[in-house]
Chain A
């Protein structure tokens, strides 16, 4: 095992750990293949148990023989280790650096993790596409499952099974795939039972500069329209960006060829622009020395909330077209793996009550992010402290989670889950003992044999003991469409993520606890009253029977 080669010094005594909210603690530092562990050897003291893959960046400095390593985690936490001895410190630092940036996915912790809990339900089989499709097939017969991508040959980033219009055969799909970026032909994302309208998603059409067209593509998306009805194409890029894309073989749907469709351009940012936004925001949150005005201007300069506003607005617009205009929608940007998924999944949160339940939200993540081929491995390789400036690292998924939080904040009683579920998903997308977020698409996951070799996150989450942590006590099923406000006054910094390590949540936690108590007590009384009522009813009928003869 090559880990041993990377670990030059497996153990150092008298290391002092500094971390948020706790007093400094001295203990023994141990390095394993996947973890950084600090134990004070006292019974009641919490130990550090940190996944190497959670480490985003490290700094080291020396004062005499005392070395200090500052560890910046992908979950934005910053911890500090004071290590006596320069050599030990250097060894530890270089080991951490090497272990936190392992090249091979198969060396990652999920391949070594052995669960200590009993698996009640294997999460790898919790959300099978066939089952998901059954939810629709009861309502419509216009759609079918296609296995055209069984071998991942038609579209490498699609799952083997997709939902397409019944009228379109697999041969046509193959043709359409050649006309769409990355082979991502239009597939069903969401079916709105209320009016039978749908959201589809795809990659950009490869029109190029000479206005190439594809009859099968036109036929495919037209198949979703009712006679005389128009549909909308929401392009997540501004028009000029979409126009520029033609030079590289991409493009957008020409109105001449798609006369029944109206195109709307929005401008959701991607890639490093989002990454830089995250870096600036986290920097601002960590810097507590500046004054009030400086804080607001840095919050503004990060543009994070601007991105949130743009994403939410686009999702609302899509939901509005579908629900209010009764029109079908096709959503895409360039590849159709980032901003497209933000919009399709948020539109479902707004429209579909099921996606606001725990189970439904998990299914949404599975369907619209994992199966849909959001490249988690690339996007979440680094977080707010990296300075690698790689084009493919981007907090696309975190922006989605933040947007969900914004809606949750505005509709605190309409979600079955609470903020903790969102925070947990953020953590696991960046560093996890589970295999769920490994790989960039189903094809890669298949090759890695994740189902056989790793544990699914859902196997762990969907056990009653875990679920209770993620359940919103205020939840009351709300079958309505929920329209959030996207005004700046209504959007807030998500403190639970961004200020998590900078401000104590003691009083907020107490309030949450109190809230749970109020509701639990109510339920308890309700149960008692019901029992007594039943008893009383029984006694009274008994009484009546004794009396009547």
Chain B
């Protein structure tokens, strides 16, 4: 609280991103956890809530006649432009937010004050929803080849690994410890995924400390052990996910990659995924494109190309596809690493697992996948997503890229996933929100020390409770579709990878499809379920009546409500029926005079009434109860009313139009 210089500023304007001419007047509040903007408009009093932890950058722009503009960019891609009348107030807000957005200790994060009114038992149950030992059991472990190792008990060998690790039975503690000393941050090869039908595994590690010529017998034995653990194949792939040049440069620092001559029966392969710095810059460039005001098609496409973002997404996908093919088609085990084995390795292992195993394409399975490949194996959430104030060079959208890969797959395999796009978007949101404890810290060890499970709540339980919102109506549970591997063609089909406006422009509802097929189908399915129940009840009653009639006794029964096949209106009528700014940057229409007969006569139609970013997550979150109204589009929304332009709207449009 001591960081809040001014808790409330009045007469602040929230500028509509699409049309700078429209702004909502309201009051800005700063609380310990949120920035809140409440519009003055008495009928709506629309609220916009931004968690401090979502704030990525705050920019104070040059003061104009109307006030002092403040630009807040959020990690969930929301963009807020406020105009504060007094320079001093603006400065106070700015200074406060700079501090509030960069907490220095974990206890300042929202999850430690967030209270969803669950009792202790419910909280504990929430944390038990996703259980990794269950997951390893599901994979068929332990078995003749793989065992649970206690070598990392109390994080003795590697402090960024979990304590429960699966290794080949033939890998003795001596081999493991020896191998760990030959690997960056002692992240020795361990099992990530096991395919029981052909005994093939995906293992992960960090880079070997090979330098130009160093060897390590135990490390070589470790890889040998992995190979022997899949008796069907006489070699394993070692996939280095870095560009070759990067890996070679690492040799000078005493690190590097496996020499095929030293390891028996390995096939070594580079897959060039760029490092976190390149990815950070790439996202930055892409977001600049998203922020452009009325860009031309060329601006947008060339900007997208120059950002390189989709090229990086494709590189990650290609790596995942390579590994999935090795496992499913060649029956060869794969060891994956990058430098430290916690960024690109996590991306690639999880993409491959998703392609290979339909379980990970279910709601719960996906949670397990993130829990396993990201949380437990020490992906540095705190550093990558800047939860605590730290080195900005550590920040990088590593898991964002994985989430996008999943979306790209969903676009290509619409029936293969149990969950929908909203599920991905909400997970992304909460990785940054720090509202739940799951993604705190950089490792399992740190989380344990912080007693996260005792002090915070689990996101997985929250998502599971609301799973109805996250289902994909097209999900086919039948084996032919979902069992087994998703096969992507080998040809380089670049056009498969598309810009995800649902994520990066998601707060600009006007840019999204105005009707959601997913919501429509979910509403139909819901109605179908009700019909099934009603049908059963009717059949029962019919039977009863027929019986009773035989006995000539009357049964009084209430006539059921005549159900009508109501329209499933899924369109956001307010946007659907508001035109955008279609006149672009045309010159304003000159006042009519005969002498100007041949002048260019253009006009500006300023009717972009697109409701300003309607943050589905933050705007409706009920801070007190902590229960979010996550459904931005209610499938049971009202029937379309044919009065699409309210008088108010029309007047304002006309006014602008006439003065233009």
Contact = CB atoms under 8 A, between A and B. Distances in A.
Contacts of A295: 494-495
B253 interface: no
Given A262-B589, A540-B545, A485 B510 contact: yes
B304 A543 contact: no
A487 interface: yes
Contact of A486 (B497, B501, B582, B589): B582
Contacts of A264: 583, 586, 601-603
B503 to A, nearest CB: 11
A186 to B, nearest CB: 19
Nearest to A477: B567
Interface in B565-610: 565, 567-571, 573, 575-580, 582-584, 586, 589, 592, 594, 596-598, 600-603, 605, 607
Nearest to B555: A543
Interface in B273-299: 290, 294-299
Given A413-B517, A476-B568, A507-B412, A536 B545 contact: yes
B215 interface: no
Indicate the member of A239, A294, A297, A320 with the most B CB atoms within 10 Å.
A320
A495 B308 CA distance: 22
A130 to B, nearest CB: 29
Contacts of B559: 537
B376 to A, nearest CB: 32
Contacts of B607: 320, 324
Contact of A317 (B497, B567, B582): B582
A93 B63 CA distance: 72
Interface string A295-306: 111011001011
Nearest to B515: A413
A539 B546 contact: yes
Nearest to A290: B494
Chain A interface residue number, banded: 35 or more
A263 B300 CA distance: 29
A493 B496 CA distance: 11
Contacts of B552: 546
B494 A262 contact: no
A504 B495 CA distance: 13
A334 to B, nearest CB: 18
A537 B542 CA distance: 10
A525 interface: yes
Nearest to B302: A300
B592 A478 contact: no
A499 B495 contact: yes
A523 B424 CA distance: 31
Contacts of B535: 525, 528-529, 532
B305 to A, nearest CB: 4
Contact of A540 (B299, B525, B557): B557
B515 A519 contact: no
B644 A292 contact: no
A319 to B, nearest CB: 7
B476 A514 contact: yes
Interface string A522-543: 1001101100110111011001
A255 B528 contact: no
Interface in B630-645: 640, 642, 644-645
B554 interface: yes
A500 to B, nearest CB: 12
Contact of B577 (A254, A297, A325, A483): A483
A228 interface: no
A317 B606 CA distance: 11
B554 A547 contact: yes
B582 A243 contact: no
Interface string B641-660: 01011000010011001000
A526 B577 contact: no
A525 B559 CA distance: 19
B310 A313 contact: no
B542 A488 contact: no
A410 interface: yes
Interface stretch (B362-370, B452-460, B485-493, B611-619): B485-493
A265 B582 contact: no
Contact of A485 (B515, B521, B580): B580
A163 B492 CA distance: 54
B644 A481 contact: yes
A310 to B, nearest CB: 9
Contacts of A539: 542, 545-546, 549
B493 A480 contact: no
Chain B interface residue number, banded: 35 or more
A238 to B, nearest CB: 9
Contact of A411 (B489, B571, B650): B571
Interface string A467-503: 0000000101111111111111111110100010011
Contacts, number: 263
A265 B602 contact: yes
Contact of A325 (B295, B301, B501, B654): B654
A521 B296 CA distance: 44
A284 to B, nearest CB: 9
B601 A522 contact: no
Given A411-B514, A533-B560, A489 B300 contact: yes
A320 B415 contact: no
Contacts of B474: 511, 514-515, 518
Contact of A262 (B305, B531, B603): B603
A480 B580 contact: no
A414 interface: yes
Contacts of A488: 295-297, 299-301
A402 B654 CA distance: 32
Given A305-B301, A483-B580, A285 B495 contact: yes
B493 A479 contact: no
B54 interface: no
Given A489-B501, A543-B554, A411 B594 contact: no
B571 A256 contact: no
Contacts of A256: 594, 597
A277 B131 CA distance: 55
Contact of B528 (A495, A508, A521): A521
A529 B538 contact: yes
Contacts of A529: 531, 534-535, 538, 563
A499 B596 CA distance: 49
A532 B542 contact: yes
A89 interface: no
Contact of A489 (B415, B511, B577): B511
B263 interface: no
Interface of A: 239, 243, 254-256, 259, 262-265, 285, 288-297, 299-300, 303, 305-306, 308-309, 313-314, 316-317, 319-321, 323-325, 409-414, 474, 476-493, 495, 499, 502-504, 507-508, 510-511, 514-515, 518-519, 521-522, 525-526, 528-529, 532-533, 535-537, 539-540, 543-544, 546-547
Nearest 10 CB-CB pairings of A with B: A488-B300, A511-B414, A300-B301, A296-B305, A295-B494, A525-B531, A292-B311, A306-B297, A532-B538, A316-B582
Given A303-B298, A305-B297, A539-B546, 15 more contacts: A262-B601, A264-B586, A264-B603, A296-B305, A316-B580, A320-B582, A409-B513, A411-B576, A414-B515, A474-B517, A480-B640, A487-B295, A521-B528, A528-B535, A543-B545
6 contacts: A254-B598, A292-B310, A480-B576, A488-B296, A492-B498, A532-B542
Interface of B: 290, 294-302, 304-305, 308, 310-311, 314, 412-416, 473-474, 476, 481, 489, 491-499, 501, 505, 508, 510-515, 517, 520-521, 524-525, 527-528, 531-532, 534-535, 538-539, 541-542, 545-546, 549, 552, 554-555, 557, 559-560, 562-563, 565, 567-571, 573, 575-580, 582-584, 586, 589, 592, 594, 596-598, 600-603, 605, 607, 640, 642, 644-645, 650, 653-654, 657
